[in-house]
């Protein structure tokens, strides 16, 4: 099922992304600790990275998946703590990924990386603080979004995706294999865990929080799995073809760090075709939702369009 962004849908999706991004920014401001004594320095570094202008794709996917299940006006408001928890985890992963012991990068979201500004020890702590705050948000009485059994499932979906059997494991494999040549299957495993797991969890947790049935959850999990992969392949393409200025992070960093990417295995053109096919599979998975799936379909097209 191929469908490209027409001018009208491009405007519509940009508007949707802007609106939801604003909503997430304001929820984040309300739901994380403000910069006050006695932890001012630590919180300054926490805020520095969290409010650095990320695209907020994971919280937006969480809200959009919730919308497919229930468009009751209170659903979106209810889902915001889950959406914000996902962004806290993502921001922690970027801070730690940029550390000298990992990718050693000095530019992120268009500004100097956290450790460049606050030093390595504080950057590690800002990451630790963000990760832990995510689970505070997910388990705090004031921000609980579902009945206890559902809430526990949401926490477990996110914990599993962020940890050793997901993002952390993927990052470990990535680092172990730097500057090595390895079979394509290993690259797929790295991508699926390092980037895909949290993206899939964003979609599934949003759906579960909004009351999805297990059948609906399975369809959205398949969509998430494909979108997560498309997102990482698009990121590989952008790293190889875009500029530091446009990306707000160092272009060509994968090659510099000895990281294998899709274009290394298949070249740019074939890799573009692969993103297109993966996005098409993602959309097929949610066809049965009919019109309700429009926004997620357009978000999928947006990920494809972003690879150019």
For residue 141, CA distances in Å to 135, 145, 160 come to 12, 9, 22
Which CB sits closer to ligand GRG, 137 or 219?
137
Element (H, E) at 83: helix 73-98
Size of the site for ligand GRG (CB under 6 A): 16
Structure tokens at 231: 């997102």
Residues 136-155 that bind ligand GRG (CB under 6 A): none
The least CB distance from residue 104 to ligand GRG, in Å, is 12
Q: Which residues neighbour 76 within 8 Å (Cβ) at sequence distance 6 or greater?
A: 23, 63, 66, 67
Residues 106-135 that bind ligand GRG (CB under 6 A): 109
Q: Report angle CA 192, 197, 198 to the nearest 5 degrees.
A: 140
Q: How far is the CB of 190 from ligand GRG (least distance, A)?
A: 10
Q: Which stretch binds ligand GRG (CB under 6 A): 18-26, 53-61, 148-156, 177-185?
A: 53-61
Which residues, 222 to 241, sit near ligand GRG by CB under 6 A? 232, 235
User: Token pair for residue 104?
Assistant: 């050693």
Q: How far is CA 221 from CA 107, 170, 197, 204, 282, in A?
A: 32, 19, 10, 6, 10
2 binds ligand GRG (CB under 6 A): no
Among 9, 70, 75, 93, binds ligand GRG (CB under 6 A): 93
Contact stretch for ligand GRG (CB under 6 A) within 32-40, 67-75, 89-97, 138-146 = 89-97
Asked if 168 touches ligand GRG (CB under 6 A), the answer is yes
**How many angstroms from the chain centroid is the CA of residue 211?**
22
Query: CB–CB of 156/132 below 8 Å?
Result: no
Among 55, 77, 246, 270, binds ligand GRG (CB under 6 A): 55
Q: Which residue is closest to ligand GRG by CB?
A: 54
- What are the φ and ψ backbone dihedral angles of 242, each rounded to 5 degrees? -100, -175
Residue with tokens 């650095």: 52
Residues of this chain that interact with ligand GRG (CB under 6 A) are 54-55, 57, 90, 93-94, 96-97, 109, 167-168, 171, 194-195, 232, 235
């Amino acid at each position: 099922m191929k469908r490209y962004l027409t001018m009208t849908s491009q405007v519509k999706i940009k508007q949707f992304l802007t609106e939801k991004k604003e909503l997430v920014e304001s929820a984040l401001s309300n739901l994380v600790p403000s910069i006050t004594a006695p932890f001012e320095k630590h919180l300054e570094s926490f805020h520095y990275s969290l409010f650095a202008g990320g695209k907020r794709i994971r919280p937006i996917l969480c809200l959009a998946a919730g919308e497919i299940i229930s468009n009751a006006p209170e659903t979106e408001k209810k889902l915001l703590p889950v959406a914000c928890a996902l962004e806290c985890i993502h921001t922690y992963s970027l801070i730690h990924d940029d550390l000298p012991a990992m990718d050693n990068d000095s530019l992120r979201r268009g500004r100097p990386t956290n450790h460049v500004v606050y030093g390595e020890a504080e950057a590690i702590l800002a990451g630790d603080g963000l990760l832990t705050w995510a689970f505070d948000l997910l388990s705090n009485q004031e921000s609980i979004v579902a009945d206890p059994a559902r809430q526990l499932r949401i926490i477990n979906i996110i914990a599993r995706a962020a940890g050793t059997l997901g993002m952390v494991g993927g990052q470990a494999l990535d680092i172990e294999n730097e500057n090595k040549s390895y079979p394509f299957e290993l690259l797929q495993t790295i991508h699926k865990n390092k980037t895909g797991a949290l993206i899939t969890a964003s979609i599934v947790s949003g759906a579960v929080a909004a009351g999805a049935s297990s059948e609906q959850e399975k369809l959205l999990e398949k969509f998430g799995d494909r979108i997560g992969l498309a997102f990482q392949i698009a990121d590989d393409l952008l790293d190889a073809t875009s500029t530091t200025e446009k990306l707000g992070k160092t272009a060509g960093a994968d090659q510099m760090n000895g990281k294998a990417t899709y274009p290394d295995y298949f070249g740019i053109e074939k890799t573009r075709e692969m993103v297109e096919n993966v996005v098409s599979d993602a959309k097929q998975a949610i066809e049965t939702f009919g019109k309700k799936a429009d926004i997620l379909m357009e978000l999928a097209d947006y990920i494809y369009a972003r690879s150019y």
